[in-house]
């Protein structure tokens, strides 16, 4: 695509907009999109858009410092700056590769042309002081201008090489504003008299004067497409009118204007569509027709806008006022084209009153408000009845009158709203003007009545609004009401509150100008106001534990909704809810019940919440044996649960001055004695629990297994055996002697 500027041009358009803010707003306004501003900023303007829909421009803060931005798919990003103070920058052009050019203040306080690519802003190095890049094409060629010796010089930059484009007359002043894919550059340069600027086309080292409109003194070019068609302006000097122009390989052609003599053409795409500003509004010019674009500002002010660029898809960007005139606010915006809009502008029905069976004529005026022919359908309705459909073909910016005849034979008497609708054409810019309400017609029979109420179910003491509509008959009408409870009223509308529950009947009597009457009734169910009670389970809860609240209502009408206030700045919705109080204390919980009619009831209860009790820390410990010999290996095992939970730390004291850590340990006692081991467990909160294990008796190994005798010789064994025999014989002799003695007299 081609790229274009434009900070100066945008300012020009907004200036026109400030003066001419009350110009009528175009139908295309509903196709506008606000691109917003960067955080902290209040004003923005869009300068260029590529074929991917990426938009660049500037966003300005209250201190009037600007920030270069990239808008992509709904997100606006600050491109940064070259490190100057103030940190000001503006983006002017973007190509389809996403490369962006513009200017930023550097550390030496100069405006410097930059190239932004992949998140990095680079000084192009053009000139020694002041420079600005205005456009970039898809091969990375950059157009702009720099200051040398106090005058402007148009330049072309490519791959680090800067080419001064020269000038038209030998006078040094020139600026480059746009470049196309062929490397053709346009802008303006001083003319031969040294007082006025002329638009130029630069190509392959040659700068050509594009001239002005007949009788005009100046011109400037702001956009060029790949076919070499150029957009810009031509005018006089100071207050002389400026006109948007197009150069198509020949003299300047006046594009016309929307509302006055001031027009500026800014951008042009390869389809030859041109955008800019005229009469305080942005415009789209196509095939010789200029169409106004809308603005962000709605009634009571119409607002102003200006367009700066258009891509190959016909998407337009620019700026629009977003506040009342005099406040100076404007935002970057995007318009979606190509522009299409068909509308119904007038409609009527005749006669307005008739008896059933009389034909009525419906007349509609439809317009094609776009720059190309359109084919569409026009349909007329009487209420929900389709009267007829007509196919319409309209040239650009033309209108037609369409007639329909409505045969009312067999139609129910009554009032019918007449509506005319056009079918939407593809990309219709404004669907709101596709429908036109042409008033109503009345088909009469003897008077009838129809009664309606805002609700047919209400509560005692709540007002019901009722409306009575006369059907057919002869105006004027009078209305009287009987509410069925010995209360009465007059008028087409009435409001009444019933004092007791039950089924009530409100009756409206309509009398027409002929003295005929008709009645219509409306049944209304009246309920008592809702009341509510609730239970709390448990009625004495603990902090951190759920408490269940269960509400029960009586009375009321329709759907009941329950809203809870737990008394601790929290609440809930529903008949049954649960809530856990964070802290102990005394709370007042309340519930409000609301029925469909708006009746309410409430109830409250005191809730006592106690301090939460932590679960007990439980320790289980075992030992493999409780009786051992010194040196035996004994296993100790412990586990923990409860308390504040893990991680748990286990420490062992074996009762003999030795210790160990862990859930399972082993130990051997070196000395005999009785020992009482114990284990200490610490939970995740630091709380501890000590558990004693059974006493372990440890014997010396020497007591259990005494030293064995030395090996015995055979002689000693024989001696021992003999001694044993002798001892046994002696014992036997003694026993015999004692027995005999006991037998003596």
Tens digits of residue pLDDT in 76-87: 999 999 998 888
pLDDT at 727 > cutoff 80: no
Residue 625: HSE in the Cβ half-sphere, 13 Å Cα cutoff: 14
pLDDT at 369 > cutoff 90: no
What pLDDT sits at residue 4? 39
Kindly state whether residue 735 falls inside one of the protein's structural domains: no
| Tokens describing residue 259 | 């509302």
Kindly state whether residue 729 falls inside one of the protein's structural domains: no
Kindly state whether residue 24 falls inside one of the protein's structural domains: yes
Name the percent of the chain lying above pLDDT 70. Answer: 86
- Span 94-120, mean pLDDT? 96
What pLDDT sits at residue 427? 73
- Claim to verify: residue 380 and residue 258 sit in the same structural domain: no
Mean pLDDT, the chain, whole residue set: 86
Query: Alpha-carbon distance 655 to 452, whole Å?
Result: 94
Query: Which of 182-191, 439-448, 465-474 has the highest average model confidence (pLDDT)?
Result: 182-191
pLDDT at 19 > cutoff 50: no
- Claim to verify: residue 522 and residue 536 sit in the same structural domain: no
Which of 284, 306, 335 terminates a domain? The answer is 335
pLDDT at 704 > cutoff 60: yes
Query: Alpha-carbon distance 189 to 199, whole Å?
Result: 7
What pLDDT sits at residue 735? 45
Band of residue 325 on the pLDDT scale cut at 50, 70, 90: low
Query: Alpha-carbon distance 404 to 438, whole Å?
Result: 13
Query: What pLDDT digit, counting tens, does each position of 272-299 carry?
Result: 999 999 988 899 998 888 888 888 875 4
- Claim to verify: residue 251 and residue 220 sit in the same structural domain: yes
Query: What pLDDT digit, counting tens, does each position of 507-565 carry?
Result: 999 987 656 789 999 999 999 999 999 999 998 888 889 999 999 999 999 999 999 99
Kindly state whether residue 589 falls inside one of the protein's structural domains: yes
Listed in sequence order, the residues at least 6 apart from 609 whose beta carbon sits closer than 8 Å to its beta carbon are 540, 541, 542, 543, 547, 581, 583, 584, 585, 586, 587
Higher per-residue confidence, 170 vs 324: 170
Kindly state whether residue 504 falls inside one of the protein's structural domains: yes
- Claim to verify: residue 17 and residue 144 sit in the same structural domain: yes
Three-class HEC string of 119-163: CEEEECCCCCCCEEEEEECCCCCEEEEEEECCEEEEEEEECCEEE
For 215-302, where are the E strands, in sequence order? Answer: 218-224, 230-235, 242-247, 252-254, 263-268, 274-278, 281-286, 289-292
What pLDDT sits at residue 16? 39
What pLDDT sits at residue 260? 72
User: 509 by DSSP, 3-state: which?
Assistant: strand
- Claim to verify: residue 516 and residue 662 sit in the same structural domain: no
What pLDDT sits at residue 524? 94
| Torsion of the alpha carbons at 158, 161, 167 and 171, rounded to the nearest 10 | 150
Domain count within the chain: 5
Which CATH number belongs to the domain containing residue 636 in this structure?
2.60.40.10
Report yes or no: 351 and 441 within 8 Å, Cβ to Cβ: yes
- Claim to verify: residue 471 and residue 552 sit in the same structural domain: no
DSSP 8-state secondary structure symbol assigned to residue 297? -
Nearest to 70 by CA among 111, 120, 106: 120
- Claim to verify: residue 317 and residue 224 sit in the same structural domain: yes
Query: What pLDDT digit, counting tens, does each position of 151-191 carry?
Result: 999 999 999 999 999 998 777 789 999 999 999 999 999 88
pLDDT at 711 > cutoff 70: no
- Claim to verify: residue 281 and residue 181 sit in the same structural domain: yes
What pLDDT sits at residue 299? 43
What pLDDT sits at residue 705? 55
| Radius of gyration for the alpha carbons in the chain, expressed in angstroms and rounded | 50
Which of 504, 526, 548 terminates a domain? The answer is 526
Which of 493, 526, 559 terminates a domain? The answer is 526
pLDDT at 6 > cutoff 70: no
The answer to which of 20-24, 373-377, 413-417, 690-694 has the lowest mean pLDDT is: 20-24
- Left if phi > 0, otherwise alpha if psi is -120 to 50, otherwise beta: which for 437? beta
| Tokens describing residue 182 | 């062929």
For residue 656, give its domain range.
Answer: 617-703
Kindly state whether residue 720 falls inside one of the protein's structural domains: no
- Claim to verify: residue 160 and residue 250 sit in the same structural domain: yes
- Claim to verify: residue 567 and residue 643 sit in the same structural domain: no
- Claim to verify: residue 199 and residue 304 sit in the same structural domain: yes
Kindly state whether residue 370 falls inside one of the protein's structural domains: yes
What pLDDT sits at residue 647? 92
Q: Report residue 139 CA to chain centroid gap.
A: 37
Kindly state whether residue 721 falls inside one of the protein's structural domains: no
Query: Which of 12-21, 164-173, 457-466 has the highest average model confidence (pLDDT)?
Result: 457-466
- Left if phi > 0, otherwise alpha if psi is -120 to 50, otherwise beta: which for 166? left
- Claim to verify: residue 158 and residue 30 sit in the same structural domain: yes
Q: Tell me the whole-structure pTM to 2 decimals.
A: 0.49
Query: Alpha-carbon distance 17 to 304, whole Å?
Result: 5
What pLDDT sits at residue 580? 94
What is the CA angle 64-66-70, rounded to 5?
A: 150
Name the percent of the chain lying above pLDDT 90. Answer: 66
């Amino acid at each position: 695509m081609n790229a274009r500027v434009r900070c100066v041009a945008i300012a020009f358009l907004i200036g026109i907009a400030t003066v001419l803010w009350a110009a009528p707003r175009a139908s295309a306004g509903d196709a506008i999109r606000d691109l917003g501003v960067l955080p902290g900023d209040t004003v923005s303007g869009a300068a260029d858009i590529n074929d991917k829909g990426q938009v660049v421009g500037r966003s300005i803060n209250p201190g009037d410092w600007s920030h270069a931005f990239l808008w992509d798919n709904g997100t606006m990003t600050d491109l940064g700056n070259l490190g100057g103070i103030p940190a000001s920058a503006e983006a002017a052009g973007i190509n389809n590769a996403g490369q962006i050019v513009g200017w930023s203040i550097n550390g030496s306080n100069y405006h410097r042309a930059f190239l932004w690519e992949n998140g990095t802003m680079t000084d192009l190095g053009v000139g020694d002081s002041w420079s600005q890049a205005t456009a970039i094409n898809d091969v990375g060629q950059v157009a702009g201008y720099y200051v040398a010796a106090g005058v402007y010089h148009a330049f072309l930059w490519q791959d680090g090489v800067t080419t001064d484009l020269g000038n038209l007359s030998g006078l040094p002043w020139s600026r480059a504003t746009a470049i196309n894919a062929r490397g053709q550059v346009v802008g303006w340069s001083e003319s031969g008299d040294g007082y006025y600027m002329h638009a130029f086309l630069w190509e392959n080292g040659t700068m050509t004067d594009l001239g002005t409109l007949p009788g005009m003194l100046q011109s400037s070019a702001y956009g060029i497409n790949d076919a070499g068609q150029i957009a810009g302006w031509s005018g006089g000097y100071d207050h002389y009118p400026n006109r948007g122009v197009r150069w198509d390989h020949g003299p300047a052609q006046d594009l016309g204007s929307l509302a006055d003599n001031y027009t500026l053409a800014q951008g042009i795409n390869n389809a030859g569509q041109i955008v800019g500003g005229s009469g305080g509004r942005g415009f789209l010019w196509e095939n010789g027709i200029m169409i106004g674009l809308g603005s962000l500002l709605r009634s009571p002010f119409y607002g102003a806008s200006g367009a700066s660029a258009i891509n190959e898809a016909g998407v337009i960007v620019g700026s629009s006022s977003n506040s009342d005139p005099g406040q100076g606010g404007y935002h970057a915006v995007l318009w979606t084209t190509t522009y299409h809009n068909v509308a119904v502008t007038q409609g009527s029905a005749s006669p307005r009153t008739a008896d059933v069976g009389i034909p009525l004529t419906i007349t509609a005026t439809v317009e094609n408000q776009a720059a190309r022919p359109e084919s569409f359908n026009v349909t007329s309705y009487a209420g929900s009845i389709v009267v007829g459909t007509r196919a319409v073909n309209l040239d650009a910016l033309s209108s037609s009158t369409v007639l329909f005849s409505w045969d009312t034979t067999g139609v129910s008497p009554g009032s019918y709203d007449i509506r005319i609708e056009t079918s939407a054409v593809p990309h219709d810019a404004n669907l709101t003007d596709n429908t036109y309400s042409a008033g109503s017609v009345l088909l009469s029979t003897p008077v009838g009545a129809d009664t309606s109420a805002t609700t047919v179910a209400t509560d005692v003491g709540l007002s019901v609004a009722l409306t009575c509509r006369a059907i057919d008959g002869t105006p004027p009408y009078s209305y009287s009401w009987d509410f069925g409870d010995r209360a009465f009223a007059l008028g087409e509308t009435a409001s009444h509150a019933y004092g007791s529950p039950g089924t009530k009947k409100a009756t409206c009597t309509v009398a027409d100008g002929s003295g005929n009457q008709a009645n219509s009734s409306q049944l209304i169910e009246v309920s008592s106001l809702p009341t509510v009670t609730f239970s709390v389970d448990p009625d004495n809860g603990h902090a951190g534990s759920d408490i269940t609240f269960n509400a029960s209502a009586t009375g009321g009408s329709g759907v009941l909704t329950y809203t809870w206030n737990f008394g601790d700045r929290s609440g809930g919705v529903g008949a049954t809810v649960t809530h856990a109080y964070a802290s102990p204390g005394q709370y007042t919980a309340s519930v409000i019940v609301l029925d469909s009619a708006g009746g309410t009831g409430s109830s409250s209860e005191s809730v006592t919440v106690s301090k939460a009790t932590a679960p007990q820390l439980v320790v289980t410990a075992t030992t493999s044996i409780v009786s051992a010999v010194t040196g035996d290996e004994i296993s100790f095992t412990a586990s923990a649960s409860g308390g504040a939970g893990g991680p748990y730390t286990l420490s062992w004291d074996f009762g003999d001055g030795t210790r160990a850590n862990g859930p399972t340990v082993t130990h051997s006692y070196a000395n005999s004695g009785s020992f009482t081991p114990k284990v200490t467990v610490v939970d995740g909160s630091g709380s501890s629990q000590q558990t004693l294990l059974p006493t372990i008796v440890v014997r010396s190994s020497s007591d259990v297994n005494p030293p064995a005798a030395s090996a015995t010789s055979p002689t000693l064994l024989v001696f021992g055996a003999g001694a044993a025999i002798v001892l046994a014989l002696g014992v036997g002799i003694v026993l015999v002697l004692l027995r005999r003695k006991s037998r003596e007299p």
